[in-house]
Structure 1
Amino acid sequence: MRDSRPALIVFCREPVEHQVKTRLLGAITPAAAAALSDAFIRDALAKAVSVHPSQIVIAAGARGGAERSKYFQRLSRRFGADLIDQGSGSLGARMTHALEPFSSNGALLIGTDTPSLPTALLAASLEALRRARVVIAPSLDGGYYAVGVRGAMPPIFTGMRWGTGSVFASTIRRLKRAGIRYSLGPAWYDVDLWGDVMLLAAHLRLLARFRNGTPCPATESVLKRLGLLRHAR
């Protein structure tokens, strides 16, 4: 029987110093920023495995191409993921490139900037894509951290002003104008700025206090090394 579950695509960049998490530089070193980026990727892939999609795909950006990246080759083997290159162009063009090969059963594309996202919420967005043509999971900064598409690409990836606080609202307006039914995934917070890192650390300390476990063990380990979680139990 054909597997009707959507695929799950983890959309990420190789964690190279001075090229990732640059908005954190000054508060932490380039090496620490790269370590956080690496931890975010590994935690996202661990969640991907736990929600049992039909396929896990790493859509990677790396100098020289994803397929030649030893970093991504290791992750691909470790998590049983297929590895594809993001391609070139705008963020919208690269997301389209990642999503289009999975149009029949659909795919949910997630970023890696929501390390504390509970696995159950990721599973909810993936399940929603079995019923809706488009799934959008908003982030609190006005963008979205996950987008799922089943069938033809909707008109939401071209001509968008990426990186602004209006991306989510603009996306919803476009879907409504096109008459495309969509489903909303759970909202969550991104970790882009230093204040977001402080929020993440406080959140993880609270979870540790109530012994609720951690949704992002790799990230928690890095934050401990940075001295941000020394009171966690």
Structure 2
Amino acid sequence: MKRARPALIVFCREPTEHQVKTRLIGSMTPAAAAALADAFIRDALAKAVSVRPARIVIAASAPDGAEHSKYFRRLARRFGADLMDQGDGSLGQRMARSLEPFSSSGALLIGTDTPSLPSAMLAASLDALRRTGVVIAPSLDGGYYAVGVSGAMPPIFTGIRWGTRGVFDSTIERLERNNVPYAFGPAWYDVDRWADVILLAAHLRMLARTRPRTASSPCPATESVLVRLGVLRHDR
């Protein structure tokens, strides 16, 4: 029997210059990197709305706290989302803290670095969480872009070397060692480095050529920023 529709948590940092997308600085200006990060967040929230979770939550990190961030308060109003602060600690501690309030009903936590992810793939991960206690959606860099938990918190948020190519493998090893049932969400690619931006632009250019003219971009805010920066140019 399927559980109730889970919540969806968008896990993100306020797009402040020199604080976000720092691996892109040098290939683009700090202002451009921040603009791209902002577009990623807006596209992720629009996608969250489209898959109709039980609740949308912005788990935010901001210099003065999420509750004092005009940026996040504005986004929460615009997308009908609740706002919570990630708090301090490692990436794993902050993710676990964001998921904990939803242990009874379940929640899928997503990052914002997969702007071209189709809504249908996000919906697939959300739906998988209705059938099992843990869902992991791998990213091609060796990590994962989404993790869902319904029920007891699994032992996957401590003792992991975050930011390495072994994050996904280590997480699956932990789940199997502890006999925790899990399911996979669809794999997709992250956009962290300049080469990823070039890949994203090529992907969006290809999609624009092949999709019906009435179909929309999977990430319109991101596409708009890439066009403005001169990274993306459509032929039609």
- TM bin, normalised by shorter chain, reads over 0.9
Q: Tell me the residue number matched to 2:220.
A: 217
Does residue 98 of structure 2 align to residue 95 of structure 1?
Answer: no
Cα distance in 2 for partners of 1:231, 1:75 equals 29
Q: Tell me the residue number matched to 1:143.
A: 143
Offset of residue 29 of structure 1? 0.2
Cα distance in 1 for partners of 2:46, 2:222 equals 12
Cα distance in 1 for partners of 2:235, 2:180 equals 45
Structure 1 stretches of 4+ moved >4 Å = none
Cα distance in 1 for partners of 2:123, 2:235 equals 27
Q: How big is each residue's C-alpha offset from its partner over 1:40-70, in whole Å with a ceiling of 9 and x where there is no partner?
A: 0000000000000000000000011000000
Return the letter of the residue paired with 2:64: G
Q: How big is each residue's C-alpha offset from its partner over 1:153-187, in whole Å with a ceiling of 9 and x where there is no partner?
A: 10000111000000000000000000001000000
Runs of at least 5 residues in structure 1 that lack an aligned partner in the other structure? none
Q: Tell me the residue number matched to 1:14.
A: 14
Offset of residue 229 of structure 1? 1.6
Judging changes above 3 Å, is the alpha-carbon distance between structure 1 residues 112 and 81 closer, same or farther for their aligned structure 2 residues?
same
Asked if structure 1 preserves the Cα contact closer than 8 Å seen for 2:208 and 2:234, the reply is no
Cα distance in 2 for partners of 1:210, 1:189 equals 20
Q: How does 1:116-155 map to 2 (within 5 A)?
A: 116-155=116-155
Judging changes above 3 Å, is the alpha-carbon distance between structure 1 residues 232 and 65 closer, same or farther for their aligned structure 2 residues?
farther
Offset of residue 9 of structure 1? 0.1
Offset of residue 211 of structure 1? 2.7
Q: How does 1:74-89 map to 2 (within 5 A)?
A: 74-89=74-89
Return the letter of the residue paired with 2:230: G
Cα distance in 2 for partners of 1:228, 1:38 equals 17
SS of structure 1 residue aligned to 2:227: helix
Return the letter of the residue paired with 2:128: A
TM-score (structure 2 length as normaliser): 0.96
Does residue 234 of structure 2 align to residue 228 of structure 1?
Answer: no
Cα distance in 2 for partners of 1:9, 1:140 equals 21
Offset of residue 232 of structure 1? 4.4
Cα distance in 1 for partners of 2:234, 2:123 equals 31
Q: Tell me the residue number matched to 1:165.
A: 165
Judging changes above 3 Å, is the alpha-carbon distance between structure 1 residues 144 and 232 closer, same or farther for their aligned structure 2 residues?
farther
Cα distance in 1 for partners of 2:231, 2:27 equals 12
Cα distance in 2 for partners of 1:210, 1:51 equals 24
SS of structure 2 residue aligned to 1:192: coil
Aligned length: 231
Offset of residue 214 of structure 1? 1.0
Q: Tell me the residue number matched to 2:60.
A: 60
Offset of residue 77 of structure 1? 0.1
Cα distance in 2 for partners of 1:229, 1:21 equals 18
Cα distance in 2 for partners of 1:135, 1:49 equals 20
User: For the aligned residues, what is the CA RMSD?
Assistant: 0.9
